[in-house]
Amino acid sequence: MSDLEGSEAARLFVEYAEENKCNNTELLRRLENATKRDPSIELTGDTKKDLLPTREKLERVLGPNDTVLSLLCCTCKLCQRGSGFRELARNTRILEDAKKRKELAVLILSGCLFALGDLCTQADFKVVRFAAQSIAPWSQQPTDSSCFSRIAPIPSQCPHTFFDKEDFSFPRIRDLCLACRKRVFQSAALEKSNILNIPRLQRSSAPVIFDHSTQNLPFIFECPQTRLNTRLTPQFYTSQIEPSCCEDEQLRDQVLFRKVFKYQHERSDLISEAAKEALIAMHLARRDNESFVEVLFALTYKDRFYTYVEIVFPFYDRDLGHEFELRKLGSHLSTPGCLLDNPLWKASLDVVRAVCIMHDAIDKMEVECSGHFDIKPENIVIKEDKNGVMKLFLIDFGQAAAHRAGTNLYQPPEVTRPRSNTNPFTFAYDVWSMACVLLEVLVFIEFGLSELRLFRSRVRGNDEDEYAFWQGTSPHDMVLRPAVTGRLQTLEDQGDQRTRAAIRQLRAMLSIFPDQRPTMRSCLGEFQRINLNRQDLGLPTQDWMNCGLERWKTSYSTSRMARPNPGNIYFFRDKPGQIQADERITLDIESVIKETKAVKTVTFIPHAFFNPSTNPGHTFACHFDNLHEGFTFHFSSLDKFLEFMSLLTYQRIVPDISEDPNATGTRFKLNTCQVKIYGWPSDQTRKFKGGTVQIWRQLSQSSYDRYHKRSESLSSTSSTTGSGTGSSEGAGSGASTTGVNGVRHSTNAWKLAIWTHDAKTEERTCVVVDIGAKTWRLEDPTGQRVPQRLKIKPHYGHADFRGAIFTPSTARQNGNGPDDRYPGFPIGPIDLQTKMRSRLTEVTIDFLDNTHRSQILHIFRNNKFNLPG
């Protein structure tokens, strides 16, 4: 039975009870008045929409008291209660037991108080189960002494088939046979039991849409919002959750915003789009709740004619479009100085960031759509914290789910004037729309509401369909409207250097041809670069490393990406004077994907040292353990890759590539290598083959800050960071540094790094040897015995010749075989020094030829190593 059939069945019994002056009428009046969703609203007759009979409300209206008990002892001709019923009701504890009160309410709402006596004889006191019992086939006409035979004589004929009619109407109770009376009762009881089935709502913990077709959703104080009212557009309501039905205390008494889709069952296409929109919104909000409005619940339910899909959000009563018109943003327009320092402009970049995140999720196939396709001020809601700081959120993913163009004004030209064999629904669509909104924001900030209205009126063409930022009839003559180019020029002429740079970026975003527009990631990176306020991107206690990293040609990839995506990177370190615990770093990709980690937990894993190809298009790659895991970073040139390594680890390869364009320091190739580790009763020997040898010089703290342009200059005593180092000018001396919490550490400036393969397992391996202290010596320094061999042993009398062997810790996410596993080393110098605890008794390297050995010895001598011979 549908809800409608159940309501009609209940109405039939309710009217019959009223006709026979049954106490059901009075109990129903009391029940309806006590369980209304909104006490101030008159009842409409739709029980599911009118009533919310919670456990607490039922206790108030049907709790144990003599008045209610007297009404239950009804003596009308339907009920015919005897004198013993009062005692039966007490013994059955109808009014004391919460579950039985609920079943009693089902009977009253169904108009069937007369069935209470028979129900009391049932062991489980379940109305729906009682209704399902003894329903005989229509071909039989049972005569029994049940309540359904007592309420009226059984007729000689009954229209059994009324249930099968599409446009059904119930006859009167007295005209139905006993089986049909029971079936009508069953229909009423099923529908009314759903009214009593009220779920306790809890925030969605996963992007799932729950079916509530057999439940009565506990929303109260429902208020429709003014929107276009058609069958194919959603309806909007503000509501609250009944406090007793809300699992989350934070949501109690909070006003919620409900977007309700209502479609006929056969419109499966529209129902699917609504569900897809809900899932997109839920996933994006879970991915980044600082850029997207949280989806509290996603619900679906059905009645006889319609399927409903609801998306429930926190209520924001302000959006950017209405704020423009209502002039409520005046407090944010008084900031003197550059336009880009205005709070509204800064908040607008929140939306740019949101679109970046959405595009990233699409790239990774985390959401099923191709873009937003309806970026406009009305789809940007505003929130202000208690300090008045503005935050903007992107909403409404209906066009994304439908793969359909949104509002005309913000559509790019390729939508209505497409070129042949091109898809207009790409990320470039959103780039255009975002540029339109940002231009309106700048016009509003600089010139006010009246000028924004004038600008919009001039953007409108002669035809309503031409309401757009561009004009033209074919792809060959399309151009920006004069009003748009005029405003861009005015802002550029009147603005400072930063504003002019932002306008240049908007011009690029408003390119007529979609393939010439920048990606949203690069747009955000450029706007962030223009702002020149990188401290805002990291933590308040961090310095920005202003070495130009964000302007390098870098990209990143994940296991789900077919190819690397371009992306600007920003890097921050804790301020030396503000380290409270272990030093932290922040690596920020396009201001979209930001992660902060303690230095001591991060490992740098350079793929490039095992893949030294110099073919055109080859990139130099690396990744990290415990920092942006799952991401691989790609650099277009070796010099930038090595500078990035130095930025992260303090280690620079000698000769420095800035002084040696041939990158000689990365090209010392070995044939075999043997490392002996002290052990008892005998040393352990590890053998390796192939690879390269590097000499590292660790930067001192002052050299590091100067070379990588720390955003805040440090004093001469600034060698106090958690991973800082002291002097590294000469070899063979330790570098004292003050580490975390004042504990003094010692690190040695020089190391020998070997990137090779295990001779037995073929596993990639990294060997790091400490050559910065006077603990070692060269055997056969002149190479008379084996010209291409370099053999290092502990210095006479020294047992502190140390090193470490690093092997891959985990397989990369994009593969399972050995080819996807790379070794790395700790990025913190102190942590690297700590790892080099293995006592070495010999390191033997056989180079491919004597030239490489000679070049390494040349480095040793030039850097004041005390070599014998």
Closest CA relative to residue 553, chosen from 641, 612, 614: 641
Q: What is the pLDDT of residues 159-202, one digit of tens each?
A: 665 555 555 556 788 888 888 888 888 888 888 999 999 998 88
Bridge partners for 630 per DSSP: none
Q: How far, rounded to the nearest angstrom, does the alpha carbon of residue 251 sit from its chain's CA centroid?
A: 21
| Sheet with 584-589, edge to edge strand ranges | 542-544, 569-574, 584-589, 593-598
Say if 658 falls within a structural domain.
Answer: no
Judgement on whether residues 546 and 643 belong to the same structural domain of the protein: yes
Q: Which pLDDT score is estimated for 743?
A: 47
Closest CA relative to residue 201, chosen from 213, 219, 222: 219
pLDDT above 70 (res 610) = yes
Judgement on whether residues 214 and 357 belong to the same structural domain of the protein: no
Judgement on whether residues 114 and 181 belong to the same structural domain of the protein: yes
Helical ranges in 197-306 per DSSP H: 268-287
Q: What is the pLDDT of residues 850-863, one digit of tens each?
A: 999 999 999 998 88
Measured between alpha carbons, how far apart are the two ends of the chain, in Å?
101
CA 437/CA 799 separation, integer angstroms: 68
Tell me the three state secondary structure of residue 313: strand
The sign of the dihedral angle between the CA atoms of 782, 785, 787, 790 is: negative
Contact 559, 544 (CB under 8 A): no
Closest CA relative to residue 530, chosen from 508, 498, 504: 498
Cα 442 to Cα 488, 492, 682: the distances in Å are: 10, 11, 75
Q: How confident is the model at residue 389 (pLDDT cuts 50, 70, 90)?
A: confident
pLDDT above 70 (res 2) = no
pLDDT above 50 (res 291) = yes
Residue 489: give the domain boundaries: 320-532
Cα 221 to Cα 45, 49, 246, 300, 401: the distances in Å are: 17, 11, 15, 20, 30
CA 226/CA 237 separation, integer angstroms: 9
CATH number at residue 546: 2.30.29
Q: What is the pLDDT of residues 687-725, one digit of tens each?
A: 999 999 999 999 998 899 888 888 653 333 333 334 444
Tell me the three state secondary structure of residue 689: strand
Omega within 30 of 0 (cis) for the link into 681: yes
Q: Looking at 18-27, 261-270, 416-425, 828-837, which range is the least confident one? A: 416-425
Q: Decide which of 211 and 819 is more confident.
A: 211
Say if 668 falls within a structural domain.
Answer: no
Q: Decide which of 407 and 839 is more confident.
A: 839
CA 100/CA 460 separation, integer angstroms: 65
Judgement on whether residues 296 and 373 belong to the same structural domain of the protein: no
Sequence-ordered strand ranges (E) for 599-649: 603-606, 620-625, 632-635
Q: Which pLDDT score is estimated for 723?
A: 43
**DSSP-assigned letter for residue 864:** T
Say if 674 falls within a structural domain.
Answer: no
pLDDT above 80 (res 151) = yes
Judgement on whether residues 307 and 261 belong to the same structural domain of the protein: yes
Q: Which pLDDT score is estimated for 419?
A: 67
Q: What is the pLDDT of residues 728-740, one digit of tens each?
A: 445 554 454 544 4
Say if 225 falls within a structural domain.
Answer: yes
Q: What is the pLDDT of residues 92-125, one digit of tens each?
A: 888 999 999 999 999 999 999 999 988 888 888 8
Q: What is the pLDDT of residues 276-285, one digit of tens each?
A: 999 999 999 8
| Paired sense of beta strands 470-471 and 479-480, if any | antiparallel
Q: Which pLDDT score is estimated for 507?
A: 94
Concatenated DSSP letters for 777-807?
EEESTT-SSSTTEEEEEEPTT----EEEEE-
For residue 854, how many other CB atoms are within 10 A of its CB?
14
Number of independent structural domains in the chain: 5
Judgement on whether residues 151 and 118 belong to the same structural domain of the protein: yes
Q: Which pLDDT score is estimated for 466?
A: 61
Say if 724 falls within a structural domain.
Answer: no
pLDDT above 60 (res 323) = yes
Q: Looking at 453-462, 622-631, 771-780, 804-813, which range is the least confident one? A: 804-813
CATH number at residue 236: 3.30.200.20
Q: Convert 197-225 to b/e letters by CB count within 10 Å (16 or more is b).
A: ebeebeebeebebeebeebbbbbebeeee
Of 647, 671, 698, the residue that ends a domain is 647
Of 647, 662, 694, the residue that ends a domain is 647
Mean pLDDT value across the chain: 83
Tell me the three state secondary structure of residue 261: strand
Q: What is the pLDDT of residues 523-537, one digit of tens each?
A: 988 887 787 554 455
CATH number at residue 500: 1.10.510.10
Cα 292 to Cα 274, 302, 467, 635: the distances in Å are: 18, 29, 28, 31
Residues 6 or more apart in contact with residue 751 via CB below 8 angstroms: 651, 695, 696, 698, 768, 769, 770, 771, 772, 832
Q: Decide which of 814 and 511 is more confident.
A: 511
Q: How confident is the model at residue 727 (pLDDT cuts 50, 70, 90)?
A: very low
Q: Which pLDDT score is estimated for 796?
A: 80
pLDDT above 90 (res 832) = yes
Q: What is the pLDDT of residues 20-66, one digit of tens each?
A: 999 999 999 999 999 998 888 788 777 778 899 999 999 999 988 88
Both tokens of residue 262? 């209502």
Judgement on whether residues 340 and 309 belong to the same structural domain of the protein: no
Residues 785-793: what's their mean pLDDT? Answer: 91
Burial of 786 (0-12, 13-18, 19+ CB in 10 A): middle
Residues 6 or more apart in contact with residue 363 via CB below 8 angstroms: 560, 561, 565
Q: Which pLDDT score is estimated for 494?
A: 83
Residues 6 or more apart in contact with residue 298 via CB below 8 angstroms: 204, 207, 208, 209, 210, 278, 279, 281, 282, 309, 310, 311, 312
CA 323/CA 384 separation, integer angstroms: 13
Q: Looking at 196-200, 462-466, 600-604, 614-618, which range is the least confident one? A: 462-466
Closest CA relative to residue 660, chosen from 624, 692, 694: 694
Judgement on whether residues 11 and 157 belong to the same structural domain of the protein: yes
Judgement on whether residues 607 and 479 belong to the same structural domain of the protein: no
Say if 278 falls within a structural domain.
Answer: yes
Judgement on whether residues 544 and 520 belong to the same structural domain of the protein: no
Judgement on whether residues 581 and 640 belong to the same structural domain of the protein: yes
pLDDT above 50 (res 821) = yes
Omega within 30 of 0 (cis) for the link into 655: yes
Closest CA relative to residue 195, chosen from 211, 212, 214, 182: 214
Q: Which pLDDT score is estimated for 304?
A: 78
CA 856/CA 853 separation, integer angstroms: 5
Q: Which pLDDT score is estimated for 689?
A: 96
Say if 469 falls within a structural domain.
Answer: yes
Residues 360-383: what's their mean pLDDT? Answer: 90
Contact 799, 774 (CB under 8 A): no
Q: How confident is the model at residue 812 (pLDDT cuts 50, 70, 90)?
A: very low
Contact 509, 435 (CB under 8 A): yes
Scan for tokens 């000769």, then name that residue. Answer: 655
383 phi/psi in degrees, rounded to 5: -135, 135
Q: How confident is the model at residue 143 (pLDDT cuts 50, 70, 90)?
A: very low
Q: How confident is the model at residue 444 (pLDDT cuts 50, 70, 90)?
A: very high
Residues 805-809: what's their mean pLDDT? Answer: 90
Judgement on whether residues 409 and 460 belong to the same structural domain of the protein: yes
CA 200/CA 735 separation, integer angstroms: 63
Say if 309 falls within a structural domain.
Answer: yes
Segment (H or E) for 507: helix 497-509
Q: What angle do CA 411, 416, 419 make, to 5 degrees?
A: 115
Residues 118-138: what's their mean pLDDT? Answer: 75
